[in-house]
Chain A
């Protein structure tokens, strides 16, 4: 495998705050990554660093083997779709698409036109007159039709309705299959995208706490539910990620169970249920806080 992004010991400090804190990871070529985490976890700062819009305080960033800062060849191959992209006052969607063709060597104008029809983006209305969702759709279209070898979507769909989001996921998968590239998708809608992702990065308080193939995370934790005494007896000395209880009932999140352990749990009258990627991220990113306050 070839890494298109190599990050080593990267830190970005704003005064006292470490927005990105000693982070090391790679992004492999032609995979879809999910960059997940809570508000203010450092996702956007990290993507700004990778696209040369912020300077590292410490550590090194290599994108296509080079430093991205003011590096035109690297930035031509990189597309960054932001949550709230600003456009010149008089711009209409057709102007956005026309100028995108100057920046991105792989720009596909026909694909952009097709997407504009599908997303119902009016081509000749001023950007500032468009609805929130339509502005987001323009960003999504630029991100897809640019076919940049490294594409970042940072919460691309503020205001997009469920139909438009599904359209985005479908077109993303189709076009990715035809034109493989590295895609980093940052989103809070984890349940919606979890099946699209090949690799998951979870960032919390500036640190990468999960860096794993998506399929490895499936079944990596399990909820065990039942009578509190039976749950405690089964859990024993295992690491517990989370615990809930009402009355005599307990629900505990633990690590992966072997088939034999699952059979044991079931014969002890316990219910086992899988934990979704979204729940896993919630568990991992709230647990840190309880640990600290404890």
Chain B
């Protein structure tokens, strides 16, 4: 298996949400492929150096959303179609998480939206 993303949990939000997002990120990038087994809750806890109950909460969140599913007696697997669903979800969040803060910062610095668009195009060519 490829290397899981190292994670520095921050203090602003519950750890289990951050762990769930880390696992989602590893599914999107393909480190955790669909229909393959993911590490156990205890392995996640040891890897991220967090309480096993917290790791379990993060994993269960993804089970509830149908991203992971349990095979009784074997372990946890990435569901079919999980990657596409997560990409769709992240695209919906793209505006609030990246575009809005970008425009807020631009406004503070007196950069117009048209100038921002120019900067993006220039950066894209570079």
Which residues of chain B come closer than 8 Å to A276, judged between CB atoms?
Answer: 11
Q: Assuming A173-B45, A174-B46, is B51 touching A196 (CB within 8 A)?
A: yes
- Contact yes or no, A198 B54, CB < 8 A: yes
Which residues of chain A come closer than 8 Å to B14, judged between CB atoms?
Answer: 215-216, 218-219
Which residues of chain A come closer than 8 Å to B54, judged between CB atoms?
Answer: 195, 198, 214-215
CB nearest neighbor in B for A32: B51
**Max chain B Cβ within 10 angstroms of own Cβ: one of A31, A177, A196:** A177
Which residues of chain A come closer than 8 Å to B41, judged between CB atoms?
Answer: 177
Of A31, A273, A277, which contacts B53 at CB under 8 A? Answer: A31
- Contact yes or no, B45 A177, CB < 8 A: yes
Asked if A69 is at the interface of the complex by the 8 Å CB criterion, the answer is: no
- Contact yes or no, A177 B15, CB < 8 A: no
Which residues of chain A come closer than 8 Å to B51, judged between CB atoms?
Answer: 32, 173, 195-198, 214
Which residues of chain B come closer than 8 Å to A87, judged between CB atoms?
Answer: none
Within the assembled complex, what's the spacing in Å between the Cα atoms of A273 and B13?
A: 11
Which residues of chain B come closer than 8 Å to A196, judged between CB atoms?
Answer: 49-51
Asked if B125 is at the interface of the complex by the 8 Å CB criterion, the answer is: no
Which residues of chain A come closer than 8 Å to B53, judged between CB atoms?
Answer: 31, 198
- Contact yes or no, A218 B11, CB < 8 A: yes
Interface residues on A, range: 20 to 34
Within the assembled complex, what's the spacing in Å between the Cα atoms of A178 and B52?
A: 10
Interface residues on B, range: 20 to 34
| CB-contacts of B67-97 with A (<8 A) | none
Asked if A169 is at the interface of the complex by the 8 Å CB criterion, the answer is: yes
Within the assembled complex, what's the spacing in Å between the Cα atoms of A195 and B51?
A: 7
Which residues of chain A come closer than 8 Å to B11, judged between CB atoms?
Answer: 194, 218-219, 274-277
Q: Mark A216-233, 1 if CB is under 8 A from B, else 0.
A: 101100100000000000
Within the assembled complex, what's the spacing in Å between the Cα atoms of A91 and B10?
A: 44
CB nearest neighbor in B for A266: B104
CB nearest neighbor in B for A278: B11
- Contact yes or no, B108 A269, CB < 8 A: yes
| CB-contacts of B39-74 with A (<8 A) | 41-42, 45-46, 48-54, 57
**Max chain B Cβ within 10 angstroms of own Cβ: one of A218, A266, A267:** A218
Within the assembled complex, what's the spacing in Å between the Cα atoms of A267 and B101?
A: 10
- Contact yes or no, A177 B16, CB < 8 A: no
Q: Assuming A170-B49, A276-B11, is B42 touching A177 (CB within 8 A)?
A: yes
B52: shortest Cβ distance to chain A, in Å? 5
B31: shortest Cβ distance to chain A, in Å? 22
Asked if B9 is at the interface of the complex by the 8 Å CB criterion, the answer is: yes
**Max chain A Cβ within 10 angstroms of own Cβ: one of B13, B14, B45, B51:** B51
| CB-contacts of B1-57 with A (<8 A) | 9-16, 41-42, 45-46, 48-54, 57
A135: shortest Cβ distance to chain B, in Å? 26
- Contact yes or no, B15 A218, CB < 8 A: yes
Asked if A111 is at the interface of the complex by the 8 Å CB criterion, the answer is: no
| CB-contacts of A191-205 with B (<8 A) | 194-198
Within the assembled complex, what's the spacing in Å between the Cα atoms of A196 and B15?
A: 10
Known: A196-B51, A215-B54, A266-B104. 4 other contacts (CB 8 A): A197-B51, A214-B15, A215-B57, A274-B12
What is B's interface to A at a CB cutoff of 8 Å?
9-16, 41-42, 45-46, 48-54, 57, 101, 104, 108
30 A-B pairs whose Cβ atoms sit less than 8 Å apart in the complex: A32-B51, A170-B46, A170-B49, A173-B45, A173-B52, A174-B42, A176-B52, A177-B41, A178-B42, A194-B11, A195-B49, A195-B51, A196-B50, A197-B51, A198-B51, A198-B53, A214-B15, A214-B51, A215-B15, A215-B54, A216-B14, A218-B11, A218-B13, A218-B14, A218-B15, A219-B11, A219-B13, A266-B104, A267-B104, A274-B11
